[in-house]
Amino acid sequence: MELYKVTAETIDTVLKESPIQSVLHIPTKPNSLRNELRNLIKGEGGIINGEKLRDFVFPTDKFDVFISHSHDDLEIAKLFAVWLEEKCGLSVFLDSFVWSSADGLLQEIDNLYCKQQNGLYSYHRRNYSTAHIHTMLSMSIMEIIKQSRIGVFIDSSHSLNLHKLRKNNQAKTLSPWIYQEIMYMRLFADKKTSTRMFSFENLNENLQMEHSVDLSDFAFLTVNHLINFASRRMKSI
């Protein structure tokens, strides 16, 4: 996997210089499959088949590019994904593709297994169900990253603490999900020499826990890099 980081400002400039014509197709499941999901959740003999459920909710298709981004940068991440698909012919996976699926699945399971007679949810049962779903989600994201050729992190004011970065080239992330994705991408990266350390801000969660992250394997993408790549691709068609 080749690793790159690109600023939100760079993406914005690229979109202005080379406007997109299409919209992003976000994979969704039709309502007709909701009954199938509920049957999987009910399981057989009270036991859910985790592999079948994971394959149904979090399919690990193969993509050219995996994009990791702050939740607050979702819209520009979507536009960048469209640009990469339209101008460069690359298939793109955004981590946001699976978050809504995870939340919906958790709600279905919690309503069936974790709700008490008083209408409230059991704290311990919800912890247990969340652990299962987040583990399946984590493994699915790892498989997608493993099969992707390119990993891109979107560097923006939402995701980087620039003051700390300029001061000592090191900082922390408060997002366990971005931390996880960076670790997975570096795990499957084609190693190359670099010296920078980057940081990430939180996703506005009440609980804040910092994690050290290292983006030293990520090369910066510039406007010229992206425009030239798209131009070469168009000439080859």
Q: Residues 171-200: pLDDT tens digits?
A: 566 677 888 898 899 999 876 543 332 233
- Identify the pLDDT of residue 217: 82
Write the pLDDT tens digit of every residue in 116-150: 999 999 999 999 999 988 888 888 899 999 999 99
Question: Bridge-partner residues for 200, per DSSP?
Answer: 173
Q: Which of 9, 55, 67 is nearest to 29 (CA)?
A: 55
Going by C-beta distance under 8 Å and a sequence separation of 6 or more, which residues neighbour residue 7?
A: 154, 155, 156
Tokens for 51, please give them: 């592999």
pLDDT, greater one: 85 or 44: 85
The mean predicted confidence, pLDDT, of the chain is 79
pLDDT-wise least confident of 70-74, 93-97, 160-164, 198-202:
198-202
Answer yes or no: is pLDDT of 206 > 80: no
3-state secondary structure 37-63: HHHHHHCECCECCHHHHHHHHCCCCCC
Query: Residue 207: in which H helix or E strand, if any?
Result: none
Specify the pTM.
0.78
- Identify the pLDDT of residue 208: 57
Write the pLDDT tens digit of every residue in 10-63: 999 999 999 988 776 655 555 555 677 778 888 887 788 888 888 888 878 889
* Whether 103 contacts 110, CB under 8 Å: no
CA distance 173 to 109: 30
Going by C-beta distance under 8 Å and a sequence separation of 6 or more, which residues neighbour residue 161?
A: 171, 172, 199, 200, 201
Tokens for 33, please give them: 């499959």
CA distance 9 to 164: 20
CA distance 19 to 17: 6
CA distance 179 to 186: 11
Q: Which of 172, 4, 17 is nearest to 87 (CA)?
A: 17
Q: Which of 112, 107, 135 is nearest to 51 (CA)?
A: 135
CA distance 142 to 180: 9
Q: How many alpha carbons fall within 13 Å on the CB side of residue 235?
A: 6
Q: Which of 82, 63, 75, 81 is nearest to 23 (CA)?
A: 82
- Identify the pLDDT of residue 29: 55
